[in-house]
Amino acid sequence: MTEESVVATAQRLQPQLVSHFMHLIQQQHLSHAYLFNGADGTGRQVVARTIAMRLFCQNITAEGLPCGQCSECRRILAGDHPDVVTVIPDGQRIKVDQVRYLKAEFTKSAVEGNQKIFIVDQVDRMTTSAANSLLKFIEEPVGKTVALLLTANKNLILPTILSRTQVVDFLRVAPQALASALADAGIAPSQRYLLATLTESVQAAQELTTDDWLKDAQAKVGQWFTACCQGDERAFVRVQSELLPLALNRDRQGVILDMLVQVWHDALRQQAGEVGDQLAFPQVAQASQQVARQLTIDQLVTIMTLTLATRSQLAGNMNFQTILEALTLQILAQVTR
């Protein structure tokens, strides 16, 4: 992504937020700590980088935006500016050595000027102890510093951090715009609605479709769902034989759990008559219709509640296979009672 496109993308995704932060910087009213909360694809990273560029830009445009051309802007985009400290997870977690580096940088003054900015992406992937150590520096900033903490789920952030930062909720991308973008990217029609429920990023959607991973996952989750709808105990066996092999890493585990939510959401929407031609799992529409007629609204809501709870279980480091097997047994109990 070029420096021009960073600013342009930030303006396209979050025009009001970009305007707001550019005004705050111009008026020198920027606070020392913000929590950017928004789903993937809503522009958390590009807005943060635009703010960093604006703080150091040597040639502010007439619209009050960073120029994207000066040496400061280019260094920031290249990750070479000593007063712009960026931390992203190394693998599944923000590691101990990354936290040490961050803490060391918090104690230092700016190298080249009088201000310093910290961008910590996916801050929810910090351990509790690391988050608590970060809290200390949020409460007692050294010099003129700004901390931008980025997350896709503020519910996973410690309440103490939430209370000491200004929480900025990013607007979701319009579904029609996303569907159009997915179509332009060549995503199959049968996958577009599902992808629109899983991510707001076209790039992330394309990554999920690489090597037909999503197609395979959509089929396997659909088969598990059909077995559950029929009260077939082989749904429990499908967890190990079909769903677990799809969970290549923790991120994909989360996607699988989100897909389980959506396949049951299809049934709930079928019962309410709100579906039309928009189904996340069109290949199991018949099973979805049948279970919608078979179960009461209370039973479907119970199942939805159970599936929604799996995400927090995964965040709490509960074993993925255990989560799926327990959920399957609980759903079978609802269907066969």
133 — pLDDT class (breaks 50, 70, 90): confident
SS3 148: strand
Please determine, for residue 176, whether its predicted confidence score (pLDDT) is greater than 70. Answer: no
Do 128 and 185 lie in one domain? The reply is: no
Please identify, among 169, 201, 221, the residue that sits at the C-terminal boundary of a domain.
Answer: 169
Do 206 and 327 lie in one domain? The reply is: yes
Give the model's pLDDT for residue 275. 64
Task: Dump pLDDT digits (tens) for 227-259.
Answer: 999 999 999 999 999 999 999 888 899 999 999
Please identify, among 138, 169, 200, the residue that sits at the C-terminal boundary of a domain.
Answer: 169
SS3 173: coil
On average, the pLDDT of the chain sits at: 88
124 — pLDDT class (breaks 50, 70, 90): confident
Give the model's pLDDT for residue 174. 67
Give the model's pLDDT for residue 46. 92
Please determine, for residue 67, whether its predicted confidence score (pLDDT) is greater than 80. Answer: yes
274 — pLDDT class (breaks 50, 70, 90): low
Q: Which two tokens stand for residue 309?
A: 């709870």
Segment 114-136 shows an average pLDDT of: 84
Do 191 and 145 lie in one domain? The reply is: no
Do 222 and 325 lie in one domain? The reply is: yes
Query: Measured on CA atoms in the order 314, 318, 297, 216, is the torsion positive or negative?
Result: positive
Do 65 and 104 lie in one domain? The reply is: yes
Q: For residue 105, how many other CB atoms are within 10 A of its CB?
A: 17
Task: Specify the number of domains making up the chain.
Answer: 2
Give the model's pLDDT for residue 257. 95
Q: Is the Cβ–Cβ distance between 332 and 233 less than 8 Å?
A: yes
Give the model's pLDDT for residue 277. 62
Do 233 and 150 lie in one domain? The reply is: no
What residues form DSSP beta bridges with 33?
147
Give the model's pLDDT for residue 196. 83
Give the model's pLDDT for residue 98. 84
Give the model's pLDDT for residue 1. 45
Please determine, for residue 312, whether its predicted confidence score (pLDDT) is greater than 50. Answer: yes
Do 42 and 115 lie in one domain? The reply is: yes
Q: Which two tokens stand for residue 131?
A: 């988050």
Do 165 and 16 lie in one domain? The reply is: yes
Do 130 and 269 lie in one domain? The reply is: no
Q: Which two tokens stand for residue 37?
A: 């909360």
Integer Cα distance of 285 and 270 in angstroms: 9
- CATH code: domain of residue 44: 3.40.50.300
Give the model's pLDDT for residue 5. 74
Please identify, among 109, 139, 169, the residue that sits at the C-terminal boundary of a domain.
Answer: 169
Give the model's pLDDT for residue 215. 95
Please determine, for residue 59, whether its predicted confidence score (pLDDT) is greater than 70. Answer: yes
Do 193 and 237 lie in one domain? The reply is: yes
Please determine, for residue 3, whether its predicted confidence score (pLDDT) is greater than 50. Answer: no
Concatenating the DSSP letter of every residue in 83-120 gives TEEEE--BTTB--HHHHHHHHHHHTSPPSSSSEEEEEE
When mean pLDDT is compared across 1-10, 120-129, 189-198, 283-292, the lowest value belongs to 1-10
Give the model's pLDDT for residue 243. 97
Do 63 and 183 lie in one domain? The reply is: no
Give the model's pLDDT for residue 4. 40
- 103: containing domain: 3-169
Do 17 and 115 lie in one domain? The reply is: yes
Residue type, 234: R
